[in-house]
Amino acid sequence: MSSPGSSAATANAAPPAQPASVSFREALRFWLKLGFISFGGPAGQIAIMHRELVEQKRWISEQRFLHALNYCMLLPGPEAQQLATYIGWLMHRTWGGVVAGGLFVLPSLFILIALSWMYVAFGDVPLVAGLFYGIKPAVAAIVLHAVHRIGSKTLKNPAKAPIPWAIAAISFIAIAGLHIPFPWIVLAAALTGWLGARWAPGQFAGGGGHGAAHASYGPAIIDDHTPTPEHARFKKSRLAKVLAAAAVLWLLPMAALMAWQGWGGALAQMSWFFTKAALLTFGGAYAVLPYVYQGAVEQFGWLTGPQMIDGLALGETTPGPLIMVVAFVGFVGGWTRQVLGPDALFLGAALAATLVTWFTFLPSFIFILAGGPWVESTRGNLRLTAPLAAVTAAVVGVIANLALFFIATIAYPSGATGLFDSRPDGIALTLAAAAALALWRFKWGVIPVIAASAALGWLLRWSGLA
């Protein structure tokens, strides 16, 4: 038993001291570790960074962390990777941001290249085919769960805030029935949110943001009132240097690809397409998947719809941002198009995956390094969240269409789309329902759901039931 004095001593204990400054080497070790443990999608990755950087290490205060996160959510691109880039930049200048953001991506790139090679080389082996038979329904359930998760945060009471619901419904009809390209849906939603902020601000209150800070874990290295460091202050000369470097880093590889294979070459087309995709990833990876599907599957034929589902499954089971599924798309596209010839299938596919990753993530680094000083100067001003809320509402409708497409794909794997054209695959639909039950009712994580579904798929194929 504790003595009465011990309670008083605990109550009167001195507050924790401010942590010592962090060296670049120490930060590098943490960002490398984060690249290998960043499972769980954006929410899980942000939670990991919050626990490590705000609660335990106290490198940055909760208020500064949430301020950076709110603005990363306003940008196209993976917000968790951009948040890591932002914090790394704030602590250790440009190279700190480059290292933090780069190490967030590189481990998953190498892992996905290895998994993609196994997929294209051994995908027809009965064992692998059985695993993916079970994985596909799990992915459909995961996407459907994403609709619910995002929708529950974005679409509030329809009687009090009907506009976001209308945006979601119109977006679903636009992409599913009218086949309007995803970029136009994003732009229309952002414009609606911008107008709504002026004429109906209550409709978008709180949407898309992460709220205000509610806890303090002791003084941090970058605390609430820590002055903005000199390198994070806005300067026209610095902005010009960042934009010039961005232009060089984009133009040089693109010019080399055009000189090598021409504008119509697969590598140049992939690089240009994923540059556009990088500028449209508002709302996270699930939001851009319909655009990637439209281009990679329907327009260019780099891979098939079922392969797209398989790639999403691989992306869900690896660390790093979920948008890294684009590396799988690039790998399969480079393999099928034989970009380096039939005698160098792996090298060509790995090159395509690397190029796709480069052109997808380059804009994210530029957004942070060029816009970071402006973000630091606007602390306390979150008026830009209404366009984000509107875009996120549109994302709900777009992802709902994607979920229906995935369900139709597993129900009719032969390609029949009419409800009565053929008998649906009841076993696959049952697996999807079981995966959805595990996610919703039993709160399983994504990786356990995929692992269990893969095991069931293999068992069903091995027993001859599927």
In this structure, are residues 249 and 362 in contact, taking their beta carbons and an 8 Å threshold?
A: yes
Give the model's pLDDT for residue 421.
Answer: 55
Q: Alpha-carbon torsion 75, 78, 43, 370, what sign?
A: negative
Considering the chain, what is the average pLDDT of its residues?
A: 83
What is the structure's pLDDT at 396?
A: 83
φ and ψ of 302, to 5 deg: -70, -30
Report the pLDDT averaged over residues 137-143.
82
Note the pLDDT tens digit of each residue in 394-404.
Answer: 878 877 887 88
Chain centroid, CA 144 distance in Å: 16
Residue 269 included in any domain:
yes
Question: Would you say residue 418 has pLDDT above 80?
Answer: no
pLDDT in tens, 363-383: 999 999 999 898 787 665 445
Q: Among 67-76, 232-241, 318-327, 448-457, where is mean pLDDT lowest?
A: 67-76
The mean pLDDT of 433-444, rounded to a whole number, is 90
- Answer yes or no: is pLDDT of 5 > 90: no
Question: Minimum mean pLDDT among 3-17, 246-260, 348-362: which range?
Answer: 3-17
Place 349 in a pLDDT band, splitting at 50, 70 and 90.
very high
Convert the pLDDT of each residue in 329-346 to its tens digit: 999 999 999 999 999 999
Please state, in angstroms and rounded to a whole number, the distance separating the CA atoms of residues 50 and 285: 21
When pLDDT is averaged across residues 22-32 and rounded to a whole number, the result is: 93
Which of 2-16, 208-222, 226-240 is the least confident region?
2-16
pLDDT at 2 over 50: no
How large is the average pLDDT for residues 250-267? 95
Residue 295 domain-assigned?
yes
Residue 166 carries which side chain, given as an amino acid letter? A
Q: What pLDDT score was predicted for residue 383? A: 58
* Total domains present in the chain: 1
The b/e string for 339-353 (b: 16+ C-beta within 10 A; e otherwise) is: bbeeeebbebbbbbb
- Spatial contact of 405 and 94, defined as CB atoms under 8 Å apart: no
pLDDT at position 466 is 72
- Calculate mean pLDDT across residues 179-205: 79
Element at 304 (helix H, strand E): none
pLDDT, tens digit, for every residue of 236-245?
A: 999 999 999 9
At residue 459, the pLDDT reads 92
Q: Is residue 63 part of a domain?
A: no
Give the pLDDT score at 212: 47
Please indicate, yes or no, if residue 229 is contained in any of the structural domains: no
At 291, which helix (H) or strand (E)? helix 285-292
- Say what the pLDDT of residue 109 is: 94
- For CA atoms 287, 291, 292, 297, the dihedral sign is positive
Does residue 29 lie within any of the structural domains? no
| Residue 92: inside a domain | no
Task: Find the range with the poorest average confidence among 337-341, 384-388, 438-442, 443-447.
Answer: 384-388
Predicted confidence band of residue 247 (pLDDT cuts 50, 70, 90): very high
DSSP assignment string, 327-366: HHHHHHHHHHHTTT-TT-HHHHHHHHHHHHHHHHHHHHHH
Contact 204, 389 (CB under 8 A): yes
Q: What pLDDT score does 456 carry?
A: 92
Residues 58/220, Cβ–Cβ less than 8 Å: yes
- Print the domain residue range for 448: 125-212+234-463
Report how far apart, in Å, the C-alpha atoms of 188 and of each of 170, 183, 191, 203 are: 11, 9, 5, 16
pLDDT value, residue 391 = 77
Environment class of 10 (CB within 10 Å of its CB; exposed 0-12, middle 13-18, buried 19+): exposed
276-293 residue pLDDT tens: 988 876 656 666 777 888
Do the beta carbons of residue 16 and residue 218 sit within 8 Å?
A: yes
pLDDT confidence bin for 23, thresholds 50/70/90:
very high
| Among 50-64, 174-188, 356-370, the least confident range | 174-188
pLDDT for 187: 83
